[in-house]
């Protein structure tokens, strides 16, 4: 799978996750807009880290949503970390 396809899949997963959390349709979440503009709380942002850790089986700092506040930025960073982790495993 290409990096572009991985990023699109990650973006879709994040949109679905936040759609559920925010109780809005995932397709209404603009991946270039800050998640905090949609009204996520700091508690929800921290929970995101735990959800990502479970889903991707990698350690994620609790502040990741603050460092990468849009789905687009977050998806890119998570794909970058996955690639680095996979490279370290070989």
- DSSP-assigned states of every residue in 39-81: T--HHHHHHHHHHHHHHHTS---TTHHHHS-BHHHHHHHHHHH
Residue ranges covered by each domain of the chain: 3-18+33-85
Give 10-58 pLDDT, tens digit per residue.
999 999 999 998 899 999 999 999 999 988 888 988 888 898 899 888 8
At the fourth CATH level, the homologous superfamily of domain 3-18+33-85 is ACP-like (1.10.1200.10)
Q: Which pLDDT belongs to residue 88?
A: 61
**Confidence at 69, pLDDT banded by 50, 70, 90:** very high
């Amino acid at each position: 799978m290409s990096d572009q396809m991985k990023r699109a899949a990650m973006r879709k997963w994040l949109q679905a996750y936040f759609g559920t959390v925010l109780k809005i349709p995932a397709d209404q979440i603009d991946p270039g807009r800050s998640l905090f503009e949609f009204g996520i709380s700091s508690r929800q942002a921290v929970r995101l880290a735990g959800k990502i850790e479970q889903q991707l089986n990698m350690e994620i700092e609790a502040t990741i949503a603050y460092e990468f506040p849009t789905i687009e930025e977050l998806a890119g960073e998570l794909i970058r970390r996955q690639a680095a982790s996979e490279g370290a495993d070989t």
